Structure formats: C-alpha cells, structure tokens
Amino acid sequence: MVSAKAQLYMAYLRATRQKRFYDDARTLHHRLHRHQRPSMARPPRQVRRACAVERWEARGRPCWTLRPRRGATSDLHVVHLHGGGYVEEIESHHWRYAADLVARLGCAVTLPIYPLVPRHDHTETLPMVYAAYDHIADHHPAERLVISGDSAGGALALAIAQNLREQARPQPARLLLYSPWLDITLEDPISVVLDEHDPMLGITGLREAGRMYAEGADPHDPRISPLHADLTGLGPFSLFIGTRDLLLPDARRFTARARDAEIDVDYAEYPGMFHNWLMQTIPEGREAMNHVERILRRPTGKSGD
C-alpha cells in the first residue's frame, strides 16, 4: 500500500506539472536557468546549523564535506553524487539526505558540485568526480568509503568504480544507487510505457540531457551508460528503485547482469514509488533510509537486510 502522504506528494507533482521539465527538449532548455542557480550549490542554512561544514575544491570545483558538530563517532566517509540529469544543480533534498546520514551514523559525507551541461559535458564532469573521490581516498582506507548516487549520480558512482578497477585500485566498501540513470538512450520499450505513469521524469527531455552530456561520444560508452559496462571486478552495491520510475527496466537488467557477474547485490524495489522517493519526507522515504542505515552499519559490508 502506498501511504497517503506519498499519494499526496505525487498528486502535488502532477498538479504543479513537475514532469514538464523532462517532457520535451524545448522546455528543458527554456527552464535550465531555474535549475542551475548558483545559490543552490551552497549548503542551506539548516544544514549549516546541523553540521560542521568544510568547503574544498577538486579540479577547481567546490566540494562540501559535512560532519557532526560534536565530532564524528564513525570513521565512515560517504561520497554522494547528486542527480538531476546532468542539467540540474544539487537540490535541497540532496543536502537533507547528506545531513540525515551525518545525524544517523556520525560519519562524514562529501558532496562534489560537478559541472553541468550544456556548458560542460562528460569530458569535464568525469575527471572532476574522479579527482574528488581520489582526494577522499588519499585519507581513508577503501573499506571505510562508500559512494552513493541518485539518478545521474548513480551513473557517476559507477563510473568511479570502473575507473578504480582500470587502475587496479581497491573498490569502496559499497555503492548505494538510488533510482540510477543507467542508459542515457532509454532504449527499453517498457520505459516508454512507464513514462505515462511516472509523475516526475519524461523520456524526451532525459534523452536530450543525455545527448548533451555525451557530446558526440558513443552513448553506449560504459562510463556514460553503465548498463553496458563490463561489471567484472566491481565492488558490492545496493540499488533502490520504485515501480513508477521509468528507469525501472534498466535497473532490473543491470541488477541481473551484476548477479551474473557474481557481484554482491542488495536490490530493493518499492511498489508504487516514484523517482528518488528515498530523499522525500514520506513514510516510504524513511523506510528506505532505515534500510540504508542498516546497510552502512554492517561491519563487513555483506548484503542482506
């Protein structure tokens, strides 16, 4: 059963026509300036009150690390790559998610503010997120590092994992993938069917955002569309997806391929949930965050709940 609060939130998304941004390419371009305001890239006041905040840079781009004000009680460090189709700046729910992890676990959380399209593309975004992770990895053992990413950030998390494998470096303890965008082409026909039921995302605008992000490269490049990656040697991951999310078919295919590659997978599919519901203040969001907390409290990083 979908909670009343979740149903109200989805009704709000439809009433305010949130989906329009991703419904067609023209609307996406016309509204880009609203989704890339510089003020969004700074921690909100409530986050600054709740957490100790440190700003640093990777390849000239800001990164923000949040820690408990009274000192960390855990040596875990989570690097979170925010979503937004590579066209949207970090939003309030991403800051809220990071502060929630800090409060729950007493750990540190870093949010790289990576460059966005159309001014930039994957040739600048990927090196920046690699550099941000490397900076953290220089000071922490891999077994105490976690990479999380929502939507486009999920693909960035997997790009980092592939980069580490290519360099014969250790994988992080776990990847956390929330409603990950795994194929910029969205070729699965079931996604077209789900588009009618998804209250937040639209295929046409997403494909346009993906086209700009790839900028002439092969859209099936595994760094851009990790659905097509060789998954051998990647570390364990947990994947959260809702059944109203048009990204669902690719999440299922990716998980099946990962299991075939004998990767430790923790897959959680939430009936009736929309894109990245985990970061919203609804009962299903709290339930999913409780699941995340249990995962991160497991000392060995093994799968299972």
Q: What is the pLDDT along the chain (305 residues), one digit of tens a residue?
A: 899 999 999 999 999 999 999 998 999 999 999 999 999 999 999 999 999 999 999 999 999 999 999 998 999 999 999 999 999 999 999 999 999 999 999 999 999 999 999 999 999 999 999 999 999 999 999 999 999 999 999 999 999 999 999 999 999 999 999 999 999 999 999 999 999 999 999 999 999 999 999 998 999 999 999 999 999 999 999 999 999 999 999 999 999 999 999 999 999 999 999 999 999 999 999 999 999 999 999 865 444 55
**Rounded to whole angstroms, how far apart are CA atoms 299 and 152?**
28
Query: Tokens for 222?
Result: 């595994």
Please state the φ and ψ torsions of residue 235, each to the nearest 5 degrees.
-80, 180
Question: 4-297: what fold?
Answer: Rossmann fold (3.40.50)
DSSP letter string over 112-139? Answer: E----TTT--HHHHHHHHHHHHHHHHTT
The predicted model scores a pTM of: 0.96
Say which residues have a Cβ less than 8 Å from residue 163's Cβ, sequence separation at least 6.
126, 130, 223
E-strand spans in the chain?
A: 51-58, 61-68, 77-81, 108-112, 145-150, 174-178, 237-242, 265-270
**Rounded to whole angstroms, how far apart are CA atoms 213 and 174?**
26
CB-CB contact of 155 with 224 (8 Å) = yes
Domain ranges within the chain, ordered by starting residue: 4-297
